[in-house]
Structure 1
Amino acid sequence: MKKNQAWDLILEKYKEIDPDGTMAIKNKITNIRTCYRRELKKVADSLKSGAGGEDVYIPSLWYFYELDFLRDQEEAFESVSTVDFDVEALKRNHTLNVATQEIRVYIAILLLTGYLTPKYMRMFWQVKSDTHNELVASSMRRNIFFEIQQFVHLCDSTTLSPNDKFAKVREYFTKLNTNFKAHFEKAGSSHTSIDETIVPYFGRHGTKQHIHGKPIRFGYKLWSAATRHGYLYLRDQNVGGTGIVRENRLENCKLPSSKGMRKKPRGELCHQMSSEIIAAKWHDNSVVTIASNCHYWNPIIKVNRIGFINKKRSKIQVDCPASIKMYNKYRVELTVLTKMLTP
């Protein structure tokens, strides 16, 4: 039986008691189950503390035992440590009772905001028809959501490394990179693009940056590697790389100056090569300095540009090295990832 059909049967049964009943019964059932989970967690916590006999918590909810058939569905949620919640709650002298299912619903709402982003999170629970989200409002109460948001932490903040500005999410980073590596083969690409990525953030933090003119102007700047489909990946070794470099990074490489290259015709190429790396300067609209350990200048290809012939603006063809072509082909991969991160 499908979920909607089940709700229709419940509503039909409910109308035997209240003929004016509507699908608002979903909210009532959700609230009843939430109260049951909280009482069940209090019982479980008292048992974990070593309490015995008379010291075990006795539920005060009058219908608790009527819903005991749900107990098997409330399995432990091992991915989230309740210790991290409790530490932050104790700091503020706050009693926090969070059920397993509530954490799951909280994470589900966060995933939903990845593509449905309100200006303010509270708008999901407003009664206005243009902002109210029935899926969110019927799944979790607003106050419970913000209570979890206030006290949820991905680590024990009492044992943070003072030298790591991202210590609060370092363990999360490690798990993400492990999962990305494990599923990289499914991404179906042998080429990755490495560049800076901005993670949106508008609060106050010492590592927050502002980059004017970018799709994401405020946030944390991280280094990322992604495939052409936007799949994020970070590999530690055996990587071939091609990229644009600053001229002052090649002090020991005897390439002509950019000022001298500008006087030469478009398409002019100068290069130097060692046993592992090739560095080159290419004159296009401006002078481009590129280095690679996997792509060379050959073969030279023709690319279309806008130039002047007999003082008239027209299309021209310019020589372009293979390393530039490969760089331009795969550099859009981080752009795809950025579009996914942009709210």
Structure 2
Amino acid sequence: MDVTFEAGLTLEEALRLAYDDDVTAIYIEPPESNVLTDEDSDDEDIGGSIDKLSGTQLHAQAEVKLANSDRISGRTPCSSSKSQQKQKRSFSWVDGDLEHQSKNSFEAGYTCYKDLSPIELVEKFLADEIMSLLVEQTSRYALFKNFSDPKVSKNEMKCFIVILIISGYVSLPGKRYYWKSQGDMRNSTISEAMRRNRFFEIMKCLHCADNSNSDPNDRMWKLRPYMEKLKLKFLQHYVPEKEMNYDESMIKYYGKHSCKQFIRGKPIRFGYKMWCMNTVSGYFVNCEIYQGKSSKRFIPYEEQFGKAAAPLLSMLDELPGQKRNLPYFLYFDNLLTSINLLENLKERGYHATGTFRENRIPKECPLSDKKTLQKRPRGTHESIIEKESNNVVTMASTCYGVSPITNVKRFSQAEHKIIQIPRPHLNLSRYQISVLANSEFPTFDSQ
């Protein structure tokens, strides 16, 4: 096949290709224009209906993945010549199980932080260089808009940010209400820290980047200098922990922005989608806001592992020094998990576990399909390993296997009582995925 789309491949064109070619996946970018809402995803296993797509979605940029792992983004010709195709790897599947991987290789130590007060901990991240950036850009923006220079000091800027933090968990109808005289409105912590007019003077001019030096390829350019400095602080003070989770998180936002997403069924449905890497104790290691086509794209990783997994590998590359070379246990959901990703992480020395979409299981893998397993009793499980790379699929892992098998209590519809169901060790790791993602404990109906 030799196809060229000069303006880029749209979702509508990608759907047409799906009828004629062996397409296994279609990835969609956010629309280029100012769009208030855009449905981003549906049920993880089922997906949305192509008959209910909006016009903005159909014209959004897209990327198609073929069965032979070739990708078509529409910006370059795609040829079926053998020289340009990736060699399809053959797998050797055998019955078996993985040996349990020990996690006692290193322990997180927070002794250097345990005696610090909350204010001292916050100042570790909102350091002088970040305050200097905000003060400088706020003053520059005031001159840019022909306002009088607010002449904000670093301490004033810290006080301003603290007020924003307080207003995040002490909610009132509007910012001005924190200075009202009524007892049910006034917040003495805020009103005594800064005058109301001074707060709004700073807020009117608050800025993080120079407007005269914009980057049209980066939709987050107005926040980029602040975000990059803050991410450096996250990485600097990161104390390595064995287990880390990579998942999407929503930042609530109701305004107008081309990066804004709408995700059905999420606690926060409207806002920015951010890829986050977190530890089991809740430390925020690294992040990247999803914005589709941008200067911050990770092209080599996208071509090999897809747009969802590419930021993960980039975040691992950004870990400083020796923190990058530790044997982490990584967890993620079925949006990311693929055999290629697991192999790459294992080559880097990392262990990985994730739920696995049935349509990504290699066709030659001798596992029963979902419909067959659903007809079997609860507690039924199957396992298979790839003889060379030892990757387990259905739940896919490089560190967990079936053994040791434990029991879990579940209610039996047939017997009308709670019974003991055998649970493979790999399924127990799904609980760890959920804990790391700060979600509820999942009901795992293993077949």
TM-score (norm 1): 0.65
Counterpart in 2 of 1:320?
423
Residue identity matched to 2:391 = I
Give per-residue Cα distances to partners, 1:257-283, cap 9 Å, x unaligned. Answer: 212221222222223323335233xxx
Contact persistence 1:253–1:272 (CA under 8 A): no
1:159 matches 2:204: no
Which position in structure 2 is the counterpart of 1:91? 144
CA contact (8 A) 1:197 1:334 kept: no
Equivalence for 2:391:
278
C-alpha separation between the residues in 1 aligned to 2:226 and 2:437? 21
Distance verdict in 2 for CA 1:326–1:160, change over 3 Å = same
Distance 1:119 1:265, change over 3 A: same
Per-residue deviation, residues 215-250 of structure 1 (Å, max 9, x unmatched): 323221111122233211245054322111222222
**In the alignment, is the contact (CA less than 8 A) between 1:278 and 1:296 conserved in 2?**
no
Alignment root-mean-square deviation, CA: 2.4
CA contact (8 A) 1:124 1:137 kept: yes
Alpha-carbon distance between aligned partners in 2 of 1:107 and 1:148, rounded to the nearest angstrom: 11
> Are 2:338 and 1:245 aligned?
no
Map 1:179-258; keep pairs closer than 5 Å: 179-185=233-239, 189-234=241-286, 236=316, 238-252=349-363, 254=365, 255-258=367-370
Q: Equivalents in 2 of 1:265, 1:312: separation in Å?
A: 12
* More displaced stretch, 164-173 vs 124-133: 164-173
Counterpart amino acid of residue 316 in structure 2: D
Shift of 1:330: 4.3
2-side partners of 1:226 and 1:162: how far apart? Answer: 30
Unaligned ranges ≥5, structure 1: 1-76, 281-288, 337-343
Q: Is the 8 A contact 2:142 2:150 kept in 1?
A: no
C-alpha distance in 2 between matches for 1:80 and 1:248: 51
Whole-Å separation in 1 of the counterparts to 2:237 and 2:429: 25
Deviations 1:130-158 (A, max 9, x none): 01112211222222212222221222233
Asked whether 1:264 is paired with 2:376, we answer: yes
Secondary structure of the 1:193 match is strand
Q: CA 1:272–1:161 in structure 2 vs 1: closer, same or farther (change >3 Å)?
A: farther
Q: Secondary structure at the match of 1:222?
A: strand
CA distance in 2, matches of 1:176, 1:327: 31
- Give the 3-state SS of the residue equivalent to 1:89 in structure 2: helix
* CA gap 1:220/1:138 in 2 versus in 1, 3 angstroms: same
Aligned residue number for residue 172 of structure 2:
118
Give 2:412's aligned residue: 307
Change (3 A) 1:253 1:126: farther
Change (3 A) 1:96 1:249: farther
Distance 1:312 1:256, change over 3 A: closer
1:268–1:218 CA distance, 2 compared to 1 (3 A): same
Give the share of equivalent positions with the same residue, in percent. Answer: 32
Stretches (4+) displaced over 4 A: none
- The 3-state SS of whatever aligns with 2:250 is strand
Per-residue CA deviations over 1:71-129 (Å, capped at 9, x if unaligned) read: xxxxxx65323442244223322122223032222122123234323332111111211
Q: Please give the alpha-carbon distance, in whole angstroms, between the structure 1 residues aligned to 2:206 and 2:364.
A: 52
Counterpart CA distance in 1 for 2:390 and 2:230 is 32
Deviations 1:20-54 (A, max 9, x none): xxxxxxxxxxxxxxxxxxxxxxxxxxxxxxxxxxx
Matched letter for residue 205 of structure 2: F
CA distance in 2, matches of 1:232, 1:322: 28
Q: Conserved in 2, the CA contact under 8 Å of 1:200 and 1:220? A: yes
Residues 1:177 and 2:231 are matched in the alignment: yes
Gaps of 5+ in 2: 1-127, 287-314, 318-348, 440-447
Between the two structures, name the one with larger relative contact order (CA 8 Å, sep ≥ 6): 2
1:102 corresponds to: 156
CA distance in 1, matches of 2:160, 2:364: 55
Q: Distance in 2 between matches of 1:93 and 1:117?
A: 33
CA distance in 1, matches of 2:220, 2:401: 38
Distance 1:160-1:269 versus aligned 2 partners, 3 A rule: farther
Answer whether contact 1:154 1:168 (CA < 8 A) is retained.
Answer: yes
Q: Between Structure 1 and Structure 2, how many residues are aligned?
A: 248
Separation in structure 2 between the aligned mates of residue 302 and residue 320 of structure 1, nearest angstrom:
6
| Deviation of the 1:328 alpha carbon | 0.6
2:200 to 137, 146, 159: 146
1:170 and 1:240 mapped to 2: Cα distance? 31
More helix by share: 1
Q: Is residue 385 of structure 2 the alignment partner of residue 331 of structure 1?
A: no
Task: Provide the secondary structure at the position in 1 that maps to 2:243.
Answer: coil
CA distance in structure 2 between the partners assigned to 1:256 and 1:126 by the alignment: 66
